[in-house]
Amino acid sequence: MLMKYPLKKPFSLAVEEVVKLIQTNTVEGISHHEAEKRGRAYGPNSYKTQKQKSLWLILLLQFKSPIVYLLIVGAAVSLYFKDILETTAILAVILINALIGFFMEFQARSSMNALKKMDVILAKVIRGGKSRSIPSEQLVPGDLIPLEAGDIIPADGRLVAVNRLQCDESSLTGESLPSDKTIAALKADTVVGDQHNMVFKGTSVINGNGKMVITGIAANTQLGTITSLVESSADTSTPLDKKLNRLTRKLIWITLVMTAIFAVTGFIQGKALLTIIETSIALAVAAIPEGLPIVATIALSYGMLLMARRNAVVKNLSAVETLGSTGVILTDKTGTLTENKIHADTLAFPDETIKVQVEKNHLNFPDGAVKLSAENFDKLLLAGILCNDAVVETEDKSAKQALFSGDPVEVALIQMAIAAGLDTRALIKQYVRVAEVPFSSEIMMMGTLHQIPSGYFVAAKGSVENLLEKCTKLQSGALIKKLDSESRKAILLKSEKMAAGGLRVLAFAYRMGEGFDTHNYLNELVYIGMAGFLDPPRLDIKGAILSCRKAGIKVVMITGDHPQTALNIARKVGLIDEGDDAVITGKELPQTELLTKAWRQRILETAVFARASPKQKLEIADVFQKAGSIVAMTGDGVNDAPALKKADVGIAMGIRGTQVAKETASIILKDDSFTSIAQAVAHGREIFQNIQKFVVYLVSCNLSEIFIVTILGVAIPGATLLPLQILFLNMVTDIFPALALGLGTGDKTVMLRPPRAPEKNIITNKKWLIIALYSASITSAVVIAVVYCKEVLHSDDRICNNIAFITLTFAQLFHVFNMSSDGEGFINNEITRNKWVWIAMLICSGLTIMVFAVPGMRLVLGLSVLSFTLWAVATVASLLPLLVFQAVKAVQKMKSRRG
């Protein structure tokens, strides 16, 4: 019989059947010879990691833009006509933009190779009956692996022996509580989070010991499946990229129309072909907003630096703006909304129920201390200390805090006892443990027998139902009463209510006296009470979620945890209202191809998803994206990686996050705080407002250049702006003011408005109308100045060209003040308060004066020394657009006040 690999659903098979199918032995494992043979047949226990882009590819991708393509064409045309200066200037623009983008991405690129690091571990293996340690990549299907507390699971495997074995699978399933392991076969439809007879690569053993037979290596592991999902999740163009590209295409069409008008008019007028070609080149240069990619890159880079100061490390520039347009945040529960630490939350005794909190090693009672059940409380703490295998590892004297290892629930019991003022070490020494019944899935409880001067003391804890079967009495304050059927029903009902509230419930019991049967002491116990445990929400979460909800952002929890636990946390953090119990579990969620319109709508309306698999997280993200939302995904586990990549912006936790999540995400939170996400969203919105302002500024300036070249080319050809003059304007007097707008502080009310509709362009129809008016006013000012000089001052064509250049230069500089919000005044607004605007004005004015003052520069740009009168005419004309629009704004403000 040939070995079967990979095995289908090994969790549904009995141990004997798995051993037979994979041809191994539960005592001796496989032989060395067989291991070598299988290694050649199935390959190493490793998988392809995400391939990082090469430095050359990063550099080449900086040139992937329609604007850059147009600039390259313009440079080629200039070179054809042997205009070396213009060719050099255009190529310099392209190179500067590429270098800025390259160095920012190179600096932000992650140097981590996370998946490979997860593989570089030594694994213990039994081959030929002997135990040895080998690199995990040399493991093969059928290998027998011994497991102990602290081990990292090196491959997927079917358990063949367990002894109180517990594994931490939170990074894979999202379940914060440890998984108790068994060897019994399970149903064929059991989900990963409930496959308690399996262990999975990349998870860890936290308690007990056992043995596993490897049933999956490399790509045939759960971790390998997730890796393939990450690889198959295609990167998509960012909303900003798409909008800038659409804008560029519009400008190209406008240029083609204007060029056609000019060419036809020129031919009719009998103009020389060379003049028509040179003016057409000028039109092309005027249409291309050369500064747009540079300013966008620098503005986003500046945003990246500011976000880093706010604990959000951005790995790629576009994520800064994308986060600002986010309409949906998909978040994990464990470690993101919660602390990923198990705390005692509720103590339920026969006579009263109390809430407890452990804060800074002090036990607090939010609703009042124990009144009727002091004896129950003391006994529960004692039983929790004695029936416990958690240990204090070290003492951190600087922090004055003990470090624990063991089951998180048992650690929580020790912490509660210490916070209550008990000396746990002294009590453990005083109550000498002489016997133990370890926890198992069969009896669902644990018991310990202790020697004391008066005889023996039994401590027990376990599931409420199972432990009650061993109890005959109950502690009621200072009295011990008979445990009757009514009391049992009341206790079970209370435990069900606690579980429905999202708590993990354990019952406690004890017995003390003499003459114990040391082999069968878990009977005739005295019931003490129950403790409900919770992974509590982070303290700063509620305000952050409220901020997101006010901003119109839907926050959705997707977790591998129990539905009731998920709902309880969701209510506590303000994700859903108190009466809301809508939750979708992974088991009931249909596959993507079976999703009906009704199901898609239900998904869009639901805020809590429980028991979700990694693949389902990916599918949920896809549903929201197809509904038109910009999706941000937060997470820290391996299971989050595919959705982190699929989302428009992936956000990984920096402290608790696995390396896989950090590598996949585009933003990493240094403090793991959801609050930092809200701050980052606000800053992203501010950045988009700034981008919108400088795009409006640049496009209105460029359109005015197109109109001016066309009008002057038809009416006064000798006064038409030269291509190099336009390039100077675009690179100097456009870029610096636009950059200053990109570095502004933005609107402080950004988080009080809903997110932008993702399908909306950067420039809406209303903005296009405003841009047209801006461009018309600037064009009119330049034409008026040229006509005045031509007809009144009788200047020649060269002087008229210079007047057009100066007027347009300063009209564009003054135009930056038109970018202020309508609600603010002319003197005091976000533009005048922006120090970068004033610096830009000084730089641009200085550079303009310099090109006239330096003879060599005058010659290159075709400029002349002008009289004071001509400078005065150009300056006055350049102020006209600003004065006109500020007057219009003032009138509108007066009308709105009267209204």
Active-site positions read 332
In angstroms, rounded to a whole number, what is the distance separating the alpha carbons of residues 688 and 851? 34
CB 8 within 8 A of CB 16: no
Q: What's the token pair of residue 840?
A: 């830009």
Residue 523, helix vs strand vs coil: coil
Q: What's the token pair of residue 632?
A: 């941000």
In angstroms, rounded to a whole number, what is the distance separating the alpha carbons of residues 607 and 721? 59
Q: Would you tell me how many other CB atoms lie within 10 Å of the CB of residue 638?
A: 31
Residue 471, helix vs strand vs coil: strand
Q: Who's near 23: CB < 8 A, 6+ residues apart?
A: 1, 3, 30, 142
Interstrand relation of 584-585 and 554-558 (parallel, antiparallel or unpaired) = unpaired
The conformation of residue 627, written as its DSSP 8-state character, comes to T
Q: Determine the Cα angle at 572 with ends 569 and 575, to 5°.
A: 80
CB 646 within 8 A of CB 664: no
CB 207 within 8 A of CB 446: no
CB 199 within 8 A of CB 156: yes
In angstroms, rounded to a whole number, what is the distance separating the alpha carbons of residues 874 and 781? 9
The conformation of residue 538, written as its DSSP 8-state character, comes to P
- Rounded to 5 degrees, what are φ and ψ at 203? -90, 180
- For helices 674-715 and 239-269, the axis angle rounded to 10 degrees is 0
The conformation of residue 11, written as its DSSP 8-state character, comes to G
Residue 804, helix vs strand vs coil: helix
Q: What's the token pair of residue 237?
A: 């163009």
User: Which of 752, 750, 684, 685 lies closest to 546 in space, CA to CA?
Assistant: 752
Which residues is 612 bridged to in the sheet?
Answer: none
Strand arrangement of the beta sheet that strand 584-585 belongs to: 312-314, 667-669, 649-653, 631-635, 328-331, 554-558, 608-610, 584-585
Q: What's the token pair of residue 226?
A: 């997730």
Tracing tokens 């064509």 back to the chain, one arrives at 797
In angstroms, rounded to a whole number, what is the distance separating the alpha carbons of residues 607 and 586? 14
Q: Where are the beta strands (DSSP E) in 654-696?
A: 667-669
Which residues is 127 bridged to in the sheet?
Answer: 29, 130
User: What residue type is assigned to position 219 of the chain?
Assistant: A
Q: Determine the Cα angle at 590 with ends 585 and 593, to 5°.
A: 150
Q: Would you tell me how many other CB atoms lie within 10 Å of the CB of residue 242?
A: 15
Length of the chain: 899
In angstroms, rounded to a whole number, what is the distance separating the alpha carbons of residues 175 and 589? 18
Q: What's the token pair of residue 657?
A: 């996050």
CB 144 within 8 A of CB 44: no
User: Which of 698, 640, 512, 655 lies closest to 174 in space, CA to CA?
Assistant: 640
In angstroms, rounded to a whole number, what is the distance separating the alpha carbons of residues 802 and 535? 72
Q: What's the token pair of residue 186?
A: 């399970």
